[in-house]
Structure 1
Amino acid sequence: MSLGDHLREFRRRIFIAAGSVLVVSIAAGLNYERIFNFLSAPFNDYKNSNPQSTIELNFGEATSAFSNLITLSVFVGVIAASPIWLYQLWAFIVPGLTKKEKRISLAFIAATVPLFLGGCWLGYIVLPQSLKLLYGFSPAGTSNIQQVSAYFSFVTRFILVFGGGFLFPVFLVAFNAVGILSAQKMIRGWRVAVVLIFVFAAVATPTADPMTMFLLAAPLMLLYVLAYGVARLIDRRRAKSRPDWLETSDDEASAL
């Protein structure tokens, strides 16, 4: 393909990806009230369980409700359409790959989507506990009249951090597949990995409580172990396919 053909192909993939996000965002906008109630459920649960507290979601400006509709619709559109735009990204790259590389890249795409969505789901599950802890710091006699835009900005960042964190093992296995990071190095550096995981969890989570940090760090450590297992299988397979004469010492005659 010429450069112009590549650019036209890239434009076509971009249009398909953007169109899928747009269609899903419109569908989300038509179901805005359901999405609003779903994401505000942790807030309302805390409010109902603490009737003595003055806590409300507030639209501060005339345009706030409409802006929140657009923001939530696009947020849901990007997440729900992720299988489509990730496939478009893969489809643009795959013509330049070998048959083996195509299989490997497809496996990475197949693992990325469920891991990302699973991380987002865990973030939503953990959210009520984080809100309960954070709102619990409010002194007696005070109120939490929170802007809707601020609340949903916090919620969406919270969910995306968990979703993005769950992609951690994908990068580890990718580094192993290209020969940068061996399984032996991964198990040898597990202490450093644990420290880095906790640092990432502390920095990435938008809350300051240690419980949320641990709830993100714990599954990441489990995923690190799973990534090590996959990397070990890849290393074993790579060793079996490696010619014996490559392992011969420099001062010995090889079978070749």
Structure 2
Amino acid sequence: MEQPQEEMSFLAHLEILRWHIIRATMVIIAVALLAFFFKTYIFKYIILPHTQGDFPTYQFFCEIGRYFGSETDFCQQKLPLVIQNRTMTGQFSATLWISFWTGLVVGFPYLMYEMWRFISPGLYQKERKMAKGFIGITSILFFVGVLFGYYIIAPLSIHFFATYSVVDGGQMVKNEIDIASYIDMLRSSVISCGLIFELPVVIYFLAKLGIVTADFLRKYRKHAIIVTLILAAIITPPDVASQVIVSIPILILYEVSIFVAKIVQKRQERTKLN
């Protein structure tokens, strides 16, 4: 019978893990340094466009409103907010953080590659052949989540809080947002969605370990819906439309996870029979 590679000591595993982490970190740092060099382009065309009324998401919802005969706040030429820096090192710190997160996002496939290289020696030959599929699927899901966060969650959140005012018209209390606060909202929206979209991958490994099954996921589907709505309420502005928009892909991912768990269970049953 085919066996995984020979077992190693705990310290040997730690040493191997250390080098995987070092290599992944070096790649992330290299991309971060490159991002720092192109900071002007990144801030102008990726970070700050959410403050402009011509951002694609705003235009899309504006056209939907016009289709139904109403002029919404999404049709504004510019959001009623000012991005400002109030500390001596604020802009430099913002550049460092954006460079780091850019390195992490762009370097994510290589991070998954190093992770797979660490765990693959403990797997069977057939399972190790899935390396390319694992790296590809996790990367695609992550980038789709990042794009969803960038084009849906982030603009909806930024637009809501930029246009919200305790006084009608917003003349008495103006939204002058610190650059660190703005970047934190953008970052949390994008990265959190990227991680949430990894749900099928997480379920795959949990199913492989026998922790969850397709029947278990079906049984607690109603509970998952409630958790999804709570999660959507946390990461989106407090309006029903935004929460529904966020809930739909998460629920789809949950159904995909059930399908993934079912496939894993069938494969394990087939292996036992053989």
TM-score (norm 1): 0.84
**Cα shift readout 1:86-134 (whole Å, capped 9, x = no counterpart):** 2112212222222244345664443222111111100111122332222
Q: Which residue of 2 aligns with 1:222?
A: 252
Is the counterpart of residue 40 in structure 1 residue 71 in structure 2?
no
Would the aligned equivalents of 1:162 and 1:216 in 2 still touch at CA under 8 Å? no
Q: Kindly state the Cα deviation for residue 31 of structure 1 after the two structures are TM-superposed.
A: 1.0
Matches within 5 A, 1:136-175: 136-138=163-165, 139=167, 140=169, 141=171, 142-175=173-206
| 3-state DSSP of counterpart to 1:62 | coil
Distance (whole Å) between structure 2 residues aligned to residue 107 and residue 117 of structure 1: 15
The structure-2 alpha-carbon separation of the partners of 1:209 and 1:105, relative to structure 1 and needing over 3 Å to count, comes to: farther
Q: Which residue of 2 aligns with 1:56?
A: 82
Q: Kindly state the Cα deviation for residue 51 of structure 1 after the two structures are TM-superposed.
A: 6.0
**Cα shift readout 1:72-95 (whole Å, capped 9, x = no counterpart):** 000101111111122112212222
Would the aligned equivalents of 1:154 and 1:206 in 2 still touch at CA under 8 Å? no
How many residue pairs align between the two structures? Answer: 243
Return 5+ residue gaps in structure 2 as ranges. Answer: 1-7, 56-73
Q: Once superposed, which parts of structure 1, at least 4 consecutive aligned residues long, lie more than 6 Å away?
A: none
Matches within 5 A, 1:48-87: 50=76, 54-87=80-113
Look up the equivalent residue of 1:135 and give its one-letter code: A
Q: Percent identity?
A: 23
Look up the equivalent residue of 2:47 and give its one-letter code: L
Q: Which residue of 2 aligns with 1:208?
A: 238
Distance (whole Å) between structure 1 residues aligned to residue 77 and residue 14 of structure 2: 59
Distance (whole Å) between structure 1 residues aligned to residue 187 and residue 114 of structure 2: 24
Would the aligned equivalents of 1:130 and 1:209 in 2 still touch at CA under 8 Å? no
Look up the equivalent residue of 1:128 and give its one-letter code: P
Is the counterpart of residue 25 in structure 1 residue 52 in structure 2?
no
The structure-2 alpha-carbon separation of the partners of 1:176 and 1:14, relative to structure 1 and needing over 3 Å to count, comes to: closer
The structure-2 alpha-carbon separation of the partners of 1:107 and 1:136, relative to structure 1 and needing over 3 Å to count, comes to: same
Q: Kindly state the Cα deviation for residue 150 of structure 1 after the two structures are TM-superposed.
A: 0.9
Q: Kindly state the Cα deviation for residue 64 of structure 1 after the two structures are TM-superposed.
A: 1.2
Is the counterpart of residue 123 in structure 1 residue 130 in structure 2?
no
Q: Which residue of 2 aligns with 1:248?
A: none
Q: Kindly state the Cα deviation for residue 4 of structure 1 after the two structures are TM-superposed.
A: 5.3
Would the aligned equivalents of 1:42 and 1:131 in 2 still touch at CA under 8 Å? yes
The structure-2 alpha-carbon separation of the partners of 1:176 and 1:4, relative to structure 1 and needing over 3 Å to count, comes to: closer
Q: Which residue of 2 aligns with 1:135?
A: 162
Distance (whole Å) between structure 1 residues aligned to residue 79 and residue 273 of structure 2: 71
The structure-2 alpha-carbon separation of the partners of 1:23 and 1:66, relative to structure 1 and needing over 3 Å to count, comes to: same
Distance (whole Å) between structure 2 residues aligned to residue 188 and residue 104 of structure 1: 29
The structure-2 alpha-carbon separation of the partners of 1:150 and 1:94, relative to structure 1 and needing over 3 Å to count, comes to: same
| 3-state DSSP of counterpart to 1:235 | helix
The structure-2 alpha-carbon separation of the partners of 1:52 and 1:77, relative to structure 1 and needing over 3 Å to count, comes to: closer
